[in-house]
Amino acid sequence: MPPSSLRVVYAFAREMHPKTSDVFIQYGTAGFRTKANLLEHVVYRMGLLAVIRSRVKNGRTIGMMITASHNLEPDNGVKLVDPDGEMLEQSWEEIATRLANVSDNDLESTTEQIIKQVNADMSLKASVFIGMDTRYTSPRLAAAASNGVIALKGTPREFGIVTTPILHYCVKCRNDNTYGIPTEEGYYEKIVGAFKTIRQKLPVFGEYNTTLYVDGANGVGGKKLNIIRKSLDGELDLQLFNLGGNGGKLNLNCGADFVKVSQKQPVGVEHVPYQRVASLDGDGDRLVYYYLDDKENMHLLDGDRIATLLASYIAELLKGAEAGDLNMGLVQTAYANGASTRYITEELKVPVTCVKTGVKHLHHAALSYDIGVYFEANGHGTVIYSDKAKKTIAKIAHDGEPEQRKSAQLLLNLIDMTNETVGDAISDLFLVETVLCARGLHARQWRAAYADLPCRQLKVTVQDRNAIATTDAERRCTAPEGLQAAVDALAGKYASGRAFVRPSGTEDIVRVYAEADSQLAADKLAAEVAQAVYELAGGVGERPQLPA
């Protein structure tokens, strides 16, 4: 592409999407994420980068998702999706950050430099799928994304309001037509179709009941479940709450992140003692469950619980299919409850890998297994099946003995029900409901598999979150000096004490996590560690307080 044809890049920027802020913004764990009013020029430029990325990938489709996930409504964000439905290749994050932060006057020359750096053939066709969540700022940002694609003569296709996982799924299908049909309807046909098929094979028994309450976080996931509900033919009775009406604000005192971090029930949900509730986040990629007992105490079933439930059932089916040559592993982060890790390794006999926080790290590690189960404790996760696993299971389903075939066929249905590209609250919800039904379990029985260690998460505001440096999958600090020694000393005071600190990948804060043998001890440990962070890492604002 000759330099003269890049002039439109500057023209679009100057006339429609000018850079009006000097705030530095970085491509983080989930793309760019900040206040929506700082993002328009960034999203436009990511449209440019998506076209370049598509051409580097020989014209394969790239995705752009406009969302800030579990953040509150004033925030927004954008992330790029690679051709297989995975997160943007990590080596491109620095390129994205550079392009987002140059001045408008330097945008044309920087774009030209990037094209040369990545050796993009700008004569190739380029395709970009664009989706957005329900934030009031999303349509304007999606328009900026489209303009970025058009400025470099790419072809944008807007999907409107979709969950983040639906966009990932459609990108994957567009580049691999064996995976499915690249439309929202194609997603429903595959995921929901597999759920209905498998439920017809599984009689409802034991303490399982088909009623499920759902907290939709006033976001897109609840809206899509409302569409799906009508096609379930009574296999699951979804009672939906927080669908965005009655003045409910996105993720405000509701949704998976609120439930997980605060360990409180969301507003806007009617509660019946021991009735299980599934809580989604704003863009539909996280899922946690909980129930209230007869004293209104909340019992959380988070990503760790979902991972152990799915892994144990898949292991059972693999045994039934006699597919012993397939290896399965489970991937967690430092946020995984220590009790869950012990249960997985000692009871389920499944190997565990611990990686840095962020789905891209979990997804990559899960690929090293024939069947990789990965979940963050926050409820973001899925299962990945290798080509070897799929072929082996399909062969058993066709050629095996009757009991082997039965287990293998159930596994094939599970594979079809799974969105392997990314954590997907809707897909994961159907997977959980399938296993609970297959085993006749009440949520109380699911929770009884092991006892969580009490934990607490806190946030600390500091002058520069990047002053915190970590190693060992973010479980230990290497900077600032003295902080890790302080954390070790504080954790050593408590039975089963464990704590770590890490800079957030999505917010300008430092996160603190603590576990101990009682809730009071966990609360105290978290507060003491937060005070150490405040003192040693340049805390600003109010100093963290110890619990009374």
392 belongs to an annotated ligand binding site: no
Does 378 belong to an annotated binding site?
yes
Known binding residue 511? Answer is yes
Whole-angstrom distance, CA of residue 210 vs CA of residue 200? 13
231 is an annotated ligand-binding site residue: no
**Percentage helix, strand, coil, to 5, in the chain?**
45, 20, 40
Written as one string, the DSSP assignment of 98-136 is HHHHS-HHHHHHHHHHHHHHTT--TTS--EEEEEE-S-T
CB distance 195 to 188 below 8 Å: no
Q: From the centroid of its chain, how far is CA 224? A: 17
424 among the known binding-site residues? no
311 is in an annotated binding site: no
CA distances to 68, 420, 472 from 464, rounded to whole Å, are: 21, 36, 21
Residue count of the chain, please give it: 548
Report whether 281 belongs to an annotated binding site: yes
69 is catalytic: yes
134 is in an annotated binding site: no
Q: Are 467 and 479 in contact (CB under 8 A)?
A: yes
Contacts by 344-349, CB closer than 8 A, 24 or more apart: 344/307, 344/308, 344/311, 347/449, 347/450, 348/308, 348/311, 348/312, 348/315
Residue type, 317: L
Q: Which amino acid is at 176?
A: D
Whether 266 has a binding-site annotation, put simply, is no
Counting Cα atoms < 13 Å in the Cβ hemisphere of 339 gives 15
Q: Give the sign of the dihedral formed by CA 322, CA 324, CA 327, CA 328.
A: positive
DSSP 404-450: HHHHHHHHHHHHHH--TTS--HHHHHHHHHHHHHHHT--HHHHHTTS
Which helix (H) or strand (E) element contains residue 479?
Answer: strand 476-479
Catalytic residue among 4, 5, 21, 69: 69
Q: Are 114 and 49 in contact (CB under 8 A)?
A: yes
> What number of other Cβ atoms are within 10 A of residue 467's Cβ?
16
Token representation of residue 478: 């290497």
Does 449 appear as a known binding residue? no
Best CA proximity match to 330, nearest among 288, 370, 360: 370
Using DSSP, state whether 516 is helix, strand or coil: coil
Rg, C-alpha atoms of the chain: 23
In 3D space, the residue among 288, 233, 229 whose CA is nearest the CA of residue 261 turns out to be: 288
Sheet holding 381-385, edge to edge: 352-355, 328-333, 371-375, 381-385
Q: Is 496 labeled as ligand-binding?
A: no
Q: Which two tokens stand for residue 438?
A: 């297959």
b/e per residue 264-282 (b: at least 16 CB within 10 A) = ebbebbebeeebbbbbbbb
Just list the catalytic residues.
Answer: 69
Binding residue ranges for substrate: 376-378, 502-506, 511
Q: Which residues are annotated as a binding site for Mg(2+)?
A: 69, 281, 283, 285
